[in-house]
Amino acid sequence: LSDPLRSLLVRHDLRATRGRLNVLAVLQSTARPLSAAEVHERLAPERADLATVYRSLESFADRSMVRPVVLRDGVRRFELAERKHHHHLICDRCGSVQDLAACNVSPFESMARDEHGFQVTDHAIEFFGICQGCRALSP
């Protein structure tokens, strides 16, 4: 397992246990936010029980090491917070999640500031629709 994950844990005052390193490695190797159950599925069954995976993810979230992502099904999923800012494209048919790198929300930030005197410090935007694969199956 890579040293960056170990130092990420140490930086956040967490002991670099095998279990925590495994959970982080799964998040790092997967290009979409994952729930505790999905992380658990990707680990070898003897590696960890679901409750341990869940606790690890929540302690990472408490320390802002991972970012919670909540889609329309209400399930809490997580992705590494150090990843570059991006948005998600979620397919309503197959449930696939892709990253959208583009972010152009300055018109909304201006509107919030000018019309509401509100300073935007962060935002989360998810897009729902039909992915390319599903569109090819039934346009």
| Interface pick for Zn ion out of 10, 37, 50, 103 (rule CB under 5 A) | 103
DSSP string, 7-47: HHHHHTT----HHHHHHHHHHHH-SS-B-HHHHHHHS-TTT
Rounded Cα–Cα distance for residues 106 and 1 (Å)? 39
> Which residue in 103, 44, 70 sits closest to 19, CA to CA?
44
Using the rule CB under 5 A, give the single segment among 1-9, 23-31, 45-53, 85-93 that binds Zn ion.
85-93
124 binds Zn ion (CB under 5 A): no
Residue 32 zone, left/alpha/beta (φ > 0; ψ -120 to 50; rest): beta
Contact between 91 and Zn ion by CB under 5 A: the answer reads yes
Q: Does 134 bind Zn ion (CB under 5 A)?
A: yes
CB of 64 to Zn ion, least distance (A): 17
Check residue 64 and give left, alpha or beta (phi > 0: left; psi -120 to 50: alpha). left
Residue 100 binds Zn ion (CB under 5 A): no
Q: With binding defined as CB under 5 A, does residue 83 bind Zn ion?
A: no
| 93 contacts Zn ion (rule: CB under 5 A) | yes
Q: Which stretch binds Zn ion (CB under 5 A): 19-27, 34-42, 75-83, 87-95?
A: 87-95
| Contacting positions for Zn ion (CB under 5 A) | 91, 93-94, 96, 103, 131, 134
